[in-house]
Amino acid sequence: MTLPAADQELLDAATALIRQRYLVGRHHIAAALRTRSGQIVTGLHLDTYVGRASVCAEAVAVGQAMAQIGPNDPITDIVSVRHPRPTEQNQNIQVVAPCGICREMLRDFAPDARVLLTDETGGSLRAYNPSDLLPLKYHRKP
The residue type of 82 is R
Which residue in the list 58, 88, 104, 120 is annotated as catalytic? 58
Buried b (16+ CB within 10 A) or exposed e, 21-36: ebeeeebbbbbbbbbe
**Residue 58 appears among annotated catalytic residues:** yes
Do 110 and 80 meet the contact criterion of CB atoms below 8 Å apart?
no
Distance, in Å, from the CA atom of 112 to the CA atom of 141, rounded to the nearest integer, reads 21
CA torsion 36-42-47-51 (nearest 10°) is -10
Just list the catalytic residues.
Answer: 58
